[in-house]
Amino acid sequence: MNAFCLRHGFNFDGKSKWTIKHIDWLKTIKCTDMQRQIINEYLATYNMLNDKIDAIDQRIEDISKLQRYAQTVQKLTCIKGIKTHTALSFMTEVGDFRRFENATRFASYIGLTPGEQSSGESEHKTKITKAGNSHLRRLAVECAGSYRRGRIGQKSIELKKRQKDMPTDVIAYADKASARCQRKYYRLTVNGKESNKAVTAVARELCCFIWGMATSGYDELDSRKTVDYSLGDETSLD
């Protein structure tokens, strides 16, 4: 469609394509009968694909409500940037999160930990290993991209809706994850780190919190010790 409009000199003056305004413009372009027929065929294909995507999205929503997935999916979607598709993808790809000893091991499985080239006393960290599950790594980076914008602690209407009626400890852990990830992105970029690299670092942090949420680690805290699942270690409250 875009190539057809460009070839025939139909220029859309709006900011973004494939919006309601853009679709309405496509329907009202002044053109020949043959051109109108072609545009209508493209629009019919566009609508068919949208309907197909909507049907798949609805099927994913239905699957996420099955007993084996529902509780964990609801908890994971309390974290900013994570919706049903991502939460369900992590569950189905990982299976049992407890097979990973700690959050760092889980981040290594996703391939978001840095590699190492060391010799003798010299230690040199390399780029992320990109080992493990590439699908989950891509999803984690996409989710981390949501921390590029907005104020720390700010919640969208949709996020508040996802958190509604959830336990307070789940919401508190999700808010902690969101705030920490966003602070990390802003801190890295202010210190000169390139944006995409900062997002990758945030994706690793986010995966650690995903592991903590999926294993319900926040429920296992006692009065004297807390587990920092974003680092995979324990920190005393004393």
User: What is the percentage of the chain residues whose pLDDT exceeds 90?
Assistant: 68
Interval 41-57: pLDDT, tens: 999 999 999 999 999 99
| Mean of the per-residue pLDDT values of the chain | 85
Mean pLDDT to the nearest integer, 177-203: 92
Site of tokens 């690793």: 204
Q: pTM for the complete prediction?
A: 0.76
> Tens digit of pLDDT for each residue in 216-230?
766 543 333 333 333
**Rounded distance, CA 137 to CA 87, Å?**
13
Task: Kindly give, in sequence order, each residue whose CB lies less than 8 Å from that of residue 237, ignoring residues fewer than 6 positions away.
Answer: 223, 224, 225, 226
Please answer whether residues 22 and 12 qualify as being in contact, where contact means their C-beta atoms are separated by less than 8 angstroms.
yes
Rounded mean pLDDT of 155-180? Answer: 93
